[in-house]
């Protein structure tokens, strides 16, 4: 029995009533509030950022569960997804009611908020910190600014919807490029080579596409290229993988926590069955030829199904409370 707490103000943006872009319309704010009040997921067409996608996938994970509720304080075990003013208020109310209630907080917080969570963990044995992946956990453990023990950090990735399809039906030489916070020069080097090889492509730039369009194009593509920086989970990449699209990753191995450089990766969830990793764009041409010859060897959707399905991640969250120390 578990109650999950969140509020859409975490990702709320200033919007206007009269605009041609739905992304910038106040109608979205209204839909988000209705979704929050009814604990209902919304359409992928109305999702424009990672935190919003995380919450929506949580709602999808437990939409048919009678043992998990949202924001109603029905059950004692509590998962507080964000630690902004809303999350901090919820935690204080829960502790005031019962100082021994089991609480997991995260993975939505910034550096200042994480310091507050650290103090709570030191004060209460029944509070743990949630992170999205092993790479984030290691970053916190190795960062000298934090004193949080390994036992107090739990890895809770959000589940990914499976969109598996048969690749044999798709047209060759169509490439999806997911571009996020890397240099335009790197992107140009990649697209120039694709043009030379007469491979058609479409670039999906972070923050400038509809989630539904990304998935639909992934389903029609021959392969994908990920050009991003270090991720805590990398939901967009995982959703592309769920369509069974083989990926070529330009891995970015640095992450920063309050200006301290730590080891990171562009794909915290990955195995060799998903595709190929590269470190430098300069290695692209040679790698691409070999990659395209071996596309049939890859099955990224199997990795998603085995590790990150709604069922798998939902059970993991429930079990973290059952095994609470």
pLDDT digits (tens, 9 = 90+) for 187-245: 999 999 999 999 999 999 998 888 889 999 999 999 999 999 999 999 999 999 999 99
Portions of the chain given CATH number 3.40.50.2300: 167-307
- List the 275-278 sheet strands across, edge first: 200-205, 174-180, 223-228, 247-250, 275-278
Architecture in CATH of 167-307: 3-Layer(aba) Sandwich (3.40)
Residue 16 pLDDT class (50, 70, 90 cuts): very low
Global pTM value: 0.90
Query: Are the C-beta atoms of residues 107 and 135 closer than 8 Å to each other?
Result: no
Strand, helix or coil at 225?
Answer: strand
Please state the rounded mean pLDDT for residues 106-121.
94
High-pLDDT (> 90) share of the chain, %: 67
Residue 15 pLDDT class (50, 70, 90 cuts): very low
Residue 14 pLDDT class (50, 70, 90 cuts): low
Residue 186 or 21, more confident: 186
Residue with tokens 């998603």, as numbered in its chain? 304
Residue 172: pLDDT over 80: no
Q: How far is CA 268 from CA 75, 76, 95, 227, in A?
A: 32, 32, 33, 14
Query: Are the C-beta atoms of residues 110 and 51 closer than 8 Å to each other?
Result: no
């Amino acid at each position: 029995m578990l109650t999950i707490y969140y509020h859409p103000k975490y990702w709320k943006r200033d919007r206007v009533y009269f605009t041609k872009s739905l992304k910038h319309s106040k109608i979205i704010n209204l839909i988000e509030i209705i979704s929050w009040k009814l604990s209902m997921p919304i359409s992928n067409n109305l999702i424009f950022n990672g935190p919003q996608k995380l919450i929506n996938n949580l709602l999808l994970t437990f939409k048919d569960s009678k043992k998990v509720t949202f924001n109603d304080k029905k059950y004692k075990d509590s998962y507080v997804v964000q630690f902004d003013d809303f999350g901090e208020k919820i935690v204080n109310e829960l502790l005031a009611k019962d100082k021994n209630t089991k609480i997991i907080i995260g993975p939505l917080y910034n550096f200042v908020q994480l310091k507050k969570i650290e103090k709570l963990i030191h004060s209460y044995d029944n509070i743990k910190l949630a992170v999205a992946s092993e790479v984030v956990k290691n970053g916190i453990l190795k960062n000298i600014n934090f004193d949080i023990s390994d036992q107090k950090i739990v890895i809770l990735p959000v589940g990914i919807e499976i969109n598996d399809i048969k690749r044999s039906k798709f047209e060759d030489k169509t490439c999806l490029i997911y571009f996020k916070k890397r240099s335009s020069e790197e992107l140009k080097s990649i697209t120039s080579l694709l043009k030379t090889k007469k491979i058609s492509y479409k670039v999906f730039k972070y923050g400038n596409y509809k989630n539904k369009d990304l998935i639909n194009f992934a389903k029609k593509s021959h392969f994908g290229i990920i050009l991003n920086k270090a991720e805590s989970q990398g939901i967009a990449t995982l959703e592309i993988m769920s369509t069974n699209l083989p990926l070529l990753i330009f891995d970015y191995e640095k992450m920063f926590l309050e200006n301290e450089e730590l080891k990171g990766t562009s794909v915290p969830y990955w195995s060799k069955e998903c595709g190929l990793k590269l470190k430098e764009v300069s290695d692209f041409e040679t790698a691409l030829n070999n990659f395209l010859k071996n596309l049939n060897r890859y099955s990224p959707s199997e990795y998603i199904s085995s590790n990150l399905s709604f069922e798998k991640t939902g059970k993991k969250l429930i079990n973290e409370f059952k095994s609470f120390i």
